[in-house]
Amino acid sequence: MAATPPLQSFSVLHSNKPSHSLLRPSSNKNRTLFSFTSNLRCEIKGFDFESHRGWTIERVSDMSKDSTNSHTNPSSPLLSVSAVTSASQFPTKNAKKVVLFYCAETKALAEKIAAETDAIELRSISWGKFPDGFPNIFIPNAQGIRGMHVAFLASFSSPAVIFEQIPVIYALPKLFIASFTLVLPFFPTGTSERMEDEGDIATAFTLARLLSNIPISRGGPTSLVTFDIHALQERFYFGDNILPCFESGIPLLKRRLQDLPDSDNISVAFPDDGAWKRFHKQLQHFPTIVCAKVREGDQRIVRIKEGDPRGRHIVIVDDLVQSGGTLIECQKVLAAHGATKISAYVTHGIFPNKSWARFGHDNGGHPESAFTYFWITDSCPLTVKDVMNRPPFEILSLASSISASLQI
């Protein structure tokens, strides 16, 4: 391996006037010397002018008290400080440049992802229809992405849009690109993962097989990024021609809970054993309550299996919500056992037929009938449009998590 060339050293003299500075080579070849008119001298070791990723002040001394010999006396430092700028402001030279395509539903999320870093370039696709209703799709400047890392941000919100996007997903890897990543924040049909009777169709397996047959790009198999898949065993539905990367929205929830004024009074409730299995390890630092459905006659009733909600702000956590019936039943039993506030988090807010309207906002004192907060991510773009700025709903964006995943 070739040796790394030494970093160029400079001396910077900065006056009290913010608009004037002088940059000139320093006689010290190993260090960069910054001198300021405020009688402070800083020695900076190893500044990389190409990456701008970080800088370290090795020594700061008062020039009015320190002799000129301190330039060469490393034993007299008065201060040692390190500072690192964010990667989103100054991408390193090693950051992977990614071209990100998107469908109509995911445009807003794609723009947020691109805003996270300069390493991601957005490109659009022309989505049209022929007179008979079938897709008429065109990728502008398709030759311009040759040799580049390419990603597509998909949304499979309905069978119709799945059929529109699959041709694009199959076409992009064949355009001589360096690699291909499919970002599918919500993997639909995930609740149809098993057969309970002969003749049942496990459509989760069908969709996994469909994605497993995406053509291989020049860089190898397609990478699939998805969040909080419904059943853990579904990862084994994918074939060898796709590399699933299973991410989670729980870190977003944990950061939001830390910002709450009553963050020290939070308990996490799981509506069933399935939710507990998925998420309890990520939320193990919170007091835990586990609910379960028990059969009483012809009815299935939610009971508290373990934990005590009395006097606590309870956050019900699950991977997805549809009609919301289970969440509401959990809310009632938790309030009946003394919870003072009840909120909810789901990664995927599906809410068919606008079932989100069932969830009212509790301004205080009514945990049995309304929610203090209801957090969802932007994995389901159509839902985001419906509930935006409607308490108790808050949107926790996956943009930063997806941006980081594209750098893997």
Rg of the chain, C-alpha, whole Å? 27
Is CATH 3.40.50.2020 the right assignment for the domain spanning 250-377? yes
CA-nearest of 257, 214, 220 to 238 is 214
Chain centroid, CA 363 distance in Å: 29
Fold observed for domain 98-247: Rossmann fold (3.40.50)
- The mean pLDDT of 364-372, rounded to a whole number, is 94
Per-residue pLDDT band at 93 (split at 50, 70, 90) = low
Look at residue 261 and give its three-state secondary structure: coil
Q: What is the pTM of this model?
A: 0.76
| Per-residue model confidence as pLDDT tens digits over 219-271 | 999 999 999 998 777 788 899 999 999 999 999 999 999 999 999 999 999 99
Of residues 136 and 5, more confidently modeled: 136
Q: DSSP for 54-94, please give it.
A: EEEEEEEEETTTS-GGGGS-TT--S--EEEE--TTTS--TT
pLDDT of 286 = 97
Look at the block and give the residue holding tokens 């998925």: 278
Q: Is the pLDDT of residue 387 over 80?
A: yes
Please, which residues bridge with residue 99 across strands?
121, 150
Give whole-number Cα distances, 334 to 243, 268, 328, 356, in Å. 40, 11, 10, 20
User: Which region among 19-33, 344-358, 360-374 has the lowest average model confidence (pLDDT)?
Assistant: 19-33
Could you tell me what percent of the chain has a pLDDT over 70? 75
CA-nearest of 359, 275, 374, 324 to 289 is 275
Torsion angle, alpha carbons of 387, 388, 393, 396, to 10: 120
CATH fold match for the domains 98-247 and 250-377? yes
Per-residue pLDDT band at 33 (split at 50, 70, 90) = very low
Report how far residue 329's alpha carbon sits from residue 301's, in angstroms, rounded to the nearest whole number. Answer: 8
Residue 116 parent element (H or E): helix 107-116
Contacts of 399 (CB under 8 A, 6+ apart): 109, 112, 113, 115, 116, 378
Quote the mean pLDDT of the chain. 82
Of residues 298 and 267, more confidently modeled: 267
End-to-end CA gap in the chain: 24
Could you state, in order of their start, the residue ranges of all structural domains in the chain?
Answer: 98-247, 250-377
DSSP 8-state symbol, 322: S
Side-chain half-sphere CA neighbours of 194 within 13 A: 5
pLDDT of 198 = 84
Q: Is the pLDDT of residue 365 over 60?
A: yes
pLDDT of 407 = 95
Of residues 375 and 365, more confidently modeled: 375
Highest mean pLDDT: which of 59-73, 80-94, 192-206? 192-206
pLDDT of 95 = 87
Q: Residue ranges of the alpha helices (H) in 232-324?
A: 250-258, 273-279
Report how far residue 285's alpha carbon sits from residue 81's, in angstroms, rounded to the nearest whole number. Answer: 33
Report how far residue 109's alpha carbon sits from residue 406's, in angstroms, rounded to the nearest whole number. Answer: 14
| Per-residue model confidence as pLDDT tens digits over 269-287 | 999 999 999 999 999 999 9
Look at residue 120 and give its three-state secondary structure: strand
Q: Residue ranges of the alpha helices (H) in 117-181?
A: 159-171
pLDDT of 233 = 75
